[in-house]
Structure 1
Amino acid sequence: MDQHAVHEYLMKKPMVMITQPFAKDVDVYKVNHKMFATLSEGNDGELDDNGELIWWLNLKCDPEEAQALRDIFPAVIPGYHMNKRLWNTVLLDGTIPQGEIERMIDNSFNLVVANMPEKDRRIIENKL
């Protein structure tokens, strides 16, 4: 799954907006003004098998699942510039199946929505 497919998948979530509070090259995806993902070019200049720059996707995660994903996938590392207990960085290098990346995105989105006030949560859940 490349950065374009990830962006499209993120934008299909209800009430999502993109901001760039950190830098112009870091897209921050928010639901109801709460961050659930970031997408940016990797900062180490590493290229994938096709010679393309590897993009980095930060996602919120349950702490136990975050560690399990790091143990399973070499392309999942502690969240870059994030709380490493609650965030993972997914290197979009083509080694993680699309369905797994989509599941991780869904989990991040759902974790953020679950912590919203009930009124906001219901509005978002009704749009799923």
Structure 2
Amino acid sequence: MSCVKAVHEYLLAKPFSSVSQPFGEGVDVYKVKDKMYATLALEKMRQSQGGHWWLNLKCDPDEAQALRDIFDAVIPGYHMNKQHWNTVILDGTVPKGEIERMIDNSFLLVVKKMRKSERQSILLHL
């Protein structure tokens, strides 16, 4: 199973998750109850040369910077608020477990901002 397929399946396995392409073909947007928590797209600059997939994830600002310091493949969020989003370049250098942890955190940060009733209904499924 490819890394991108595994990431896609992990994102969609989150409770109440959906995927759409509101920004056009080639940019998958993952939402929990209509709130975005991730995007997945092939790097535009090198798309024709088999570039890497880029995963945008919401992140606590302090942790976002720490992850950028630890991993060369984690950069400020591409086309996102650079304080609250990171882009993970799926080039194989970030361990699968770490990518899953970052996805979990992104999902929970978005859920945490929802109304209490919505939040509770989602958290029951975790």
Question: TM-score category by the smaller chain?
Answer: over 0.9
> Structure 1 CA distance, aligned partners of 2:29 and 2:47?
22
Instruction: Note the C-alpha offset of 1:2.
Output: 1.5
Alpha-carbon spacing, 1:46–1:69, altered in 2? closer, same or farther (3 Å): farther
* TM-score between the two structures when normalised by the length of structure 2: 0.94
Q: Sequence identity, in percent?
A: 62
Whole-angstrom CA distance in 2 between matches of 1:8 and 1:117:
26
Q: Deviations over 1:22-63 (max 9, x none)?
A: 12110000001000000000122179xxx8531000000000
> Which residue of structure 2 aligns with residue 15 of structure 1?
16
The amino acid that maps onto 2:11 is L
Amino acid at match of 1:89: T
Q: How many residues align?
A: 125
Poorly superposed stretches of 4+, deviation over 2 Å: none
- Structure-2 separation of matches of 1:2 and 1:23: 22
TM-score (normalizing by structure 1): 0.93
CA drift of 1:18 comes to: 0.7
Give the match for residue 55 of structure 1: 53
Alignment correspondent of 1:69: 67
User: Structure 2: 5+ residue runs without aligned partners?
Assistant: none
1:116 maps to 114
Q: Which moves more between the two structures, 37-46 or 70-79?
A: 37-46
Equivalent-residue separation in structure 1 for 2:81 and 2:29 (angstroms): 15
Structure 1: which 5+ runs fail to align? none
Q: Tell me, in whole angstroms, the C-alpha distance in 1 between the residues paired with 2:5 and 2:79.
A: 22
- How far residue 7 of structure 1 moved from its aligned partner, in angstroms, is 0.2
Partners in 1 of 2:45 and 2:99 — Cα distance? 21
Report what 1:34 is aligned to: 35
Which letter maps to 2:83? Answer: R
- RCO (CA 8 Å, sep 6+): is it higher in 1 or 2? 1
RMSD: 1.6
- Report the equivalent of 1:93: 91
Amino acid aligned to 1:99: G
Code of the residue aligned with 2:69 in structure 1: it is D
